Amino acid sequence: MKSFIKFFLISIAFAGLAVSDSISFTIHIVGDSTVCNYNEKAYPQTGWGQVIGYFFDGARVRINNAAIGGRSSRTFIEEGRLDAVINAASAGDYLFVQFGHNDRDYSKPARYVEPAQFPGYIQQYIDAGKKKGMHVILVSPMNLNGSRNVFSTGDKNYDARGMMQTVASNNKIPFVDLNMKAYNLYNVDYKNIPEYVTRYLYKSLQAGEYPNYPDGVNDGTTHFQEMGSMGHAQLICEELEANLNNSNLSQESKTALTTLVSSINKRYTIKVQTNLNDYSGLITQTQNFPAGSPMTLRVTPNGEIFEKWVDDDCNELSKNMIYYGFKTPARNITYTAMFKGGAACQKIAHDKEDNVELPQSSSSMEESSSSAIDNSLCFSGEASPLWPSPIDMSEPEFGDGTTDSNHEGFTGKGFFNIANANTSTATYNVTSDQSASNARVMIRYAFDGTANRDMKITIDNGTYDVAFPPTGAWTTWDTAYIENVWVDALDFKVTIASTTSDGGPNIDMIAFDMRGVYRTGCEPAKVEGETSLVNTQKQKIFYNKNAPTFNALGQNKGNVLQKDLPKGHYFKKH
């Protein structure tokens, strides 16, 4: 801390700036799913933009986290999102830019950016920010273990980190090397405990650990838990402070950075230990967080018997191995995991808490849409565990066609009869509380004819070519599937679009093989076998009384409708 104060004062003198406590500005953040906000139903999944506000003085700094999952540097611009951020900004605000994860995903053409084009797109953010009088800061993607890593020692064919560093240098603006900071943290500091990174930082959760994921989830090495993103926010602050010694920065950038760094909150050391001399399991590592920020204590014993968490005054905090939802105090503190057979708790001397005003929230965040919707379109039955998120498609938010119920066998309020034209579309507002990189989607449809009525199905920003062969009759319902669908925890749109002059088939419903996906304005479906606190009466998955119903295996008792149809139709990403 002394060394930081030293170069901080030198920088102020060099910039000739008198830093005022009354300075007020907004940090606007753009990026992807590793950065964006998530609602409570996705917890502990968290983006670093969701928590970085805890690290800044809330009386002087506002946070506008405009990051959204599934976007690349190109698609964020093409969707008009950069323009919206710039229009909402004021001169003197800051723009944090982080892209690279989705840009290099060549398996998804909708978001892919050619390596040669990536610097040009990043430059567009800088140019747009500067034109508005904003101060732009580039943040390299955090290190992702596995095939999608983008640090410079990994994929030489797509060095997002190196390209961003070059663009920042050319523009004489700060470059926050979160990628290399995270790489060093994971592979140097945590080298001897690699499982800690996967289990405690990434979103890899075992059954029963968190209420939102009762069956657990293995999200690979893409998204992060709250503690992972809190750690990334800490690394970003360290990099901002280190940039004060960056001799390549322009005078304007130095002055702006000095103002920004002066608004970073004091951080306190949170030491975590056990009462055992030879503990061999996992435990939360020591952190440095500001007062009022969220903190999680957790242990995964390796045969040891956990009893409770205590603070440095030996006060009992929790008997749960995962203790979350409490706020970091305004002092250095030690927490101890007490195990059976270990030493008795002994109080540890400590300073009094500093008198600081704790932040009320970390960043601006749009609440999930509560737009009005006909309740009859909300799924009110009991969903199969194989398809826990069924969605009635009978009435889109807007579309070319009609809502009909003149053919038997539909499952909800009716079905959507898309207009007979090769330009017909129907769009639905959908919300997902959770994310998945390889979700599976089922589409239930019917039509009589001799030729396919192929369609394009767009789910968020991914478009899929769908083959719909005839089912033999308007009352014979068949099912097709989309494989490897990327779903982020956000509000998005599902659009069906015809590609033939006959339009498309009648669309009855779609379903996701992941929980927590539903029409926006509704609630997630209750899943078979789960206990509802509101209504324990058992209902059928199909709520039309004349419709066939799923049994416990997810099989249709009338028509064949199950997870793996012998005549199921598969299609590729467009």
Do residues 327 and 16 make contact, with C-beta atoms less than 8 angstroms apart?
A: no
Do residues 81 and 66 make contact, with C-beta atoms less than 8 angstroms apart?
A: yes
Parallel, antiparallel, or unpaired: how do β-strands 478-487 and 436-446 relate? antiparallel
Alpha-carbon span 89 to 101, nearest angstrom: 25
Alpha-carbon span 391 to 561, nearest angstrom: 15
- Under 8 Å CB-to-CB from 527, ≥6 apart: which residues? 382, 383, 384, 385, 388, 515
pLDDT given at position 363: 52
Alpha-carbon span 561 to 71, nearest angstrom: 34
Closest listed residue to residue 432, CA positions, set 526, 532, 524, 530: 524
Calculate what percentage of the chain has a pLDDT beyond 90: 71
User: Which domains are delineated in the chain?
Assistant: 2-180+228-265 (3.40.50.1110), 269-339 (no CATH), 375-527 (2.60.120.260)
What are the Cα distances from residue 476, in Å, to 353, 415, 444? 70, 13, 10
Amino acid at 180: M
Alpha-carbon span 163 to 78, nearest angstrom: 21
Question: Which segments of the chain have a pLDDT < 70?
Answer: 1-23, 144-156, 220, 358-371, 531-574
pLDDT given at position 371: 60
- CA angle 436/73/492 to nearest 5° reads 40
284 phi, psi to nearest 5 deg: -55, 135
Do residues 528 and 384 make contact, with C-beta atoms less than 8 angstroms apart?
A: yes
Terminal Cα-to-Cα distance of the chain (whole angstroms): 53
Amino acid at 258: T
pLDDT given at position 324: 94
Closest listed residue to residue 84, CA positions, set 66, 98, 96: 66
- CA angle 135/139/143 to nearest 5° reads 175
What are the Cα distances from residue 168, in Å, to 123, 227, 248, 249, 326? 9, 28, 10, 9, 38
Do residues 68 and 435 make contact, with C-beta atoms less than 8 angstroms apart?
A: no
pLDDT given at position 144: 63
Alpha-carbon span 73 to 266, nearest angstrom: 33
The token pair at 73 is 């540097």
pTM: 0.84
Alpha-carbon span 479 to 475, nearest angstrom: 13
Give the 3-state DSSP-derived string for 138-166, with helices as H, strands as E and coil as C: EECCCCCCCCCCCCCCCCCCCCHHHHHHH
Q: In this structure, what DSSP letter does residue 361 have?
A: -
- Under 8 Å CB-to-CB from 215, ≥6 apart: which residues? 207
* Cα dihedral: 234, 240, 242, 246 (round 10): 160
The token pair at 386 is 């194989």
pLDDT given at position 367: 43
Calculate what percentage of the chain has a pLDDT beyond 70: 83
Give the 3-state DSSP-derived string for 485-552, with helices as H, strands as E and coil as C: EEECCCEEEEEEEECCCCCCCEEEEEEECCCCEEECCCCCCEECCCCCCCCCCCCCCCCCCCCCCECC
The token pair at 371 is 């737009």
pLDDT given at position 80: 96
- Under 8 Å CB-to-CB from 539, ≥6 apart: which residues? 380, 381, 382, 526
Count of alpha carbons within 13 angstroms of residue 514, beta-carbon side: 27
Parallel, antiparallel, or unpaired: how do β-strands 135-139 and 175-176 relate? parallel
Chain segment 260-307, per-residue pLDDT in tens = 999 999 999 999 999 999 999 999 999 999 999 999 999 999 999 999
Do residues 23 and 270 make contact, with C-beta atoms less than 8 angstroms apart?
A: no
Alpha-carbon span 455 to 469, nearest angstrom: 11
Report the mean per-residue pLDDT for the chain: 85
Under DSSP, is residue 115 helix (H, G, I), strand (E, B) or coil? coil
Count of alpha carbons within 13 angstroms of residue 101, beta-carbon side: 26
- Under 8 Å CB-to-CB from 315, ≥6 apart: which residues? none
Q: Alpha helices of 448-487 — where are they, by DSSP H?
A: none
Count of alpha carbons within 13 angstroms of residue 102, beta-carbon side: 27
The enclosing H or E element of 415 equals: strand 415-418
| CB count in 10 Å sphere of residue 532 | 12
Alpha-carbon span 422 to 403, nearest angstrom: 19
The token pair at 545 is 């009384």
- CA angle 534/540/542 to nearest 5° reads 115
Query: How far from chain centre, in Å, is Cα 522?
Result: 21
